[in-house]
Amino acid sequence: MSKFLKALEKRTRSSPGPIGFGSSISEEPRSTMALVGLISSQSAKNLKLANQPGLDAVLLHVDKPVSGLVKTVEALAGKPLGIRTEVLSKEESSRLVKIGCDFFIHTLAKTDVNALYEGEAGYILDVDGGIAEQALRALDLLPVDAVFVSLSNADSLLTLSHLADIVSIRVMFEKFLIVEIPKNISAKEIEILRDSGVDGLVVDITNSDERSISSLQKILNNLPRQKYQRRNGNSGTVSLAGRPAGDFN
């Protein structure tokens, strides 16, 4: 299984509060949402930011095949690297997995089905451009591990319209839901997204700084407890068909 998917499972797995003699022992606050840093280039500055301990994975957005990924994978020293791309062929998927890429965010229309069976990589469906309701209803039966939605272009605060879009997608499947957020998002907005069923966040760290990443991770670690449990008790790691997410063999 993809390292990033394992991190998602670990983050979103429900952990009951301590009982008995251990109940008085305080525990370090721990986020129940994964955090991914998005970079637009493989510059030394971006890779330094990407290595911050608060990030569970790094995502590189590419419009076409890129070079230099071997050095990028080495620079990340084991931290999962994902590729966001509109077009994903079997050949490109195979090439990138061999280099060390851990997961892909890809589109519905321009992804070769044969590209989704390469090694232990994770495959995350990008529905940012919109998706028909019929396709949404089929998500749990598609050979993908998670769904991705972007709110990065939101002009200001999270609106009810944004929330309705997220919830309308969330109720359609049991797999992980990952959302790209704007840099200026508030702690309350993050809490609302989590309580709406979001499992992971992607934030653009290009031209950012270590303090901003640390601040966001602190917000995640200190969110109030959820007031209710979602279906299946934790993350959507079991599909409606009863098959674990990512098990397509």
C-alpha to C-alpha distance for 213 and 53, rounded to whole angstroms = 9
C-alpha to C-alpha distance for 185 and 162, rounded to whole angstroms = 13
C-alpha to C-alpha distance for 99 and 138, rounded to whole angstroms = 31
Residues ≥6 apart with Cβ < 8 Å to 244 = 237, 238
Q: Which residues pair with 179 in a beta bridge?
A: 149, 201
C-alpha to C-alpha distance for 147 and 198, rounded to whole angstroms = 10
* CATH number assigned to the domain covering 3-9+31-221: 3.20.20.60
Residue whose C-alpha is closest to residue 125's, from 114, 117, 133, 110: 110
Task: Indicate the burial class of 108 (C-beta count within 10 angstroms; 0-12, 13-18, 19 or more).
Answer: middle
For residue 188, what pLDDT is reported? 95
For residue 67, what pLDDT is reported? 82
Helix (H) or strand (E) run with residue 50 in it? helix 44-50
For residue 111, what pLDDT is reported? 95
pLDDT averaged per 10 residues in sequence order, the chain, 249 residues: 95 59 53 94 92 94 83 93 95 94 95 92 87 84 94 77 91 94 92 96 92 93 78 39 40
Half-sphere exposure of 222 (CA within 13 A, CB side): 9
Q: Where are the alpha helices (DSSP H) in 61-179?
A: 69-75, 90-99, 133-137, 160-170
For residue 25, what pLDDT is reported? 45
- Say how many C-beta atoms besides its own lie within 10 A of residue 156's C-beta: 7
Residue-range domain boundaries for the chain = 3-9+31-221
Q: Tokens 């309308």 sit at which residue?
A: 168
Residue whose C-alpha is closest to residue 32's, from 227, 186, 194: 194
| pTM of the predicted protein model | 0.84
For residue 233, what pLDDT is reported? 38
For residue 184, what pLDDT is reported? 86
